[in-house]
Amino acid sequence: MSEFYKDEWVWITGASSGIGKELVSQAYKQKAKVLLASRKTKTLEALAKELQLEKGRYAVEKLDLEDYKSTAVFAKRCLQKYGIPKVVIHNGGISQRSLTKETNLITLEKIMNTNFYGAAEMTRTMLPEIVGKKEVHFAVISSVAGKLGSPLRSAYSASKFALVGFFHCLRSEEERNGIFVTMVYPGFIQTNISKNALTGDGSTTGTMDSVIAAGLPVQLCAHRILHAVANKQREVVISGIKEKFGLFLQAVYPSLFFKMIQKAKVR
């Protein structure tokens, strides 16, 4: 892995906190040049200072994934300024904690725009500029919720399922032309994702889920993502035993899985 990232640009969306922040730190330690992207540019600059990133080896760019049409402008601007990256990590996103019947359309649209349309439009815009010119690796952070549905996450799961379908199709079309895709399925990871999750009316929960607090360390998650990319894995599940058992049950004993997921503790 040490030479894979050396002197190559790695673009990371949602870089201001959580998995994104840790990806910045670890990719930089692998001698990559890192492009930090999120809405919070002041936070990104503070992060660059905290991590002691050297000038010329990092860049900060504003990116609002919810305004998904603007991601095309972002993609074109960054390609012109920094050239074609080695790796693009679609990490930015927002979660949900609300029953489907209590989730309004505005909240549904915000989650879909941020989690799916932003990544899809950014990628779609890049393709004509990169296909056939350089091998580019897209690492797409879906979720275990992008493989199975659970209570309180209907919009979130929908957005993560959508990412899987979009990037699976892209892989089938363009892998022969040097566009590689790694789908990443994190389970419960120790971040603030549940605190920032949206309720049905669009407000944030502000609370930490117990299953998130007891999840895998974010450092381990970031390490496994970068390792999977460097080793050209097409898929990686990063989770504890409970999530992996759920995936197994869904595949082998779907009726039993459905009964269990109805009773599962998801907060």
pLDDT of res. 262: 85
For residue 264, CA distances in Å to 151, 211, 241 come to 8, 11, 14
Distance CA(15)–CA(37), nearest Å, equals: 6
Assigned domain for 129 exists: yes
Q: How confident is the model over 229-250, as a mean pLDDT?
A: 96
Integer CA distances (angstroms), 165 to 50, 146, 152, 181, 246, in order: 37, 10, 22, 12, 21
Instruction: Pick the range with the lowest mean pLDDT from 39-48, 74-83, 138-147, 205-214.
Output: 205-214
20: in domain: yes
% of the chain at pLDDT higher than 90 = 93
Cα separations in angstroms, 130 against 17, 27, 52, 54: 28, 22, 31, 27
The mean pLDDT value for 31-56 works out to 97
Count the domains in the chain: 1
Domain annotation covers residue 252 = no
* 182-222 pLDDT per residue, tens: 999 999 999 999 999 999 999 999 998 999 999 999 999 99
Instruction: Tell me the residue range of the domain where 228 lies.
Output: 9-241
Q: What is the pLDDT, as a whole number, of residue 266? A: 67
What mean pLDDT is predicted for residues 133-158? 96
Residue 255 three-state SS:
helix
Please check whether residue 2 lies inside any domain of the structure.
Answer: no
pLDDT tier for residue 260 given thresholds of 50, 70 and 90: confident
- From the candidates 82, 156, 185, 253, give the one annotated as an active-site residue: 156
Please indicate, yes or no, if residue 212 is contained in any of the structural domains: yes
Q: Is 185 among the residues known to form the active site? A: no
Residue 266 lies in a domain: no
Rounded CA-CA distance 157/102 in Å is 16
State the Cα–Cα distance between residues 174 and 1, nearest whole angstrom.
Answer: 24
SS3 214: coil
Would residue 95 count as lying in a domain? yes
Task: Cite the beta strand spans of 14-53 per DSSP E.
Answer: 33-38
| Calpha distance 179→266 (Å, rounded) | 35
- pLDDT of the residue at 265: 67
pLDDT at residue 261 is higher than 90: no
Q: Which stretch of DSSP H or E encloses residue 125?
A: helix 118-130
**pLDDT tens-digit map of 82-122:** 999 999 999 999 999 999 999 999 999 999 999 999 999 99
pTM: 0.95
> What CATH number corresponds to the domain at position 89?
3.40.50.720
Which of 87-96, 115-124, 225-234, 248-257 is predicted least confidently?
248-257
CA–CA separation, 197 vs 205, rounded Å?
6
pLDDT of residue 136 exceeding 90, the answer is yes
- In a domain? residue 1: no
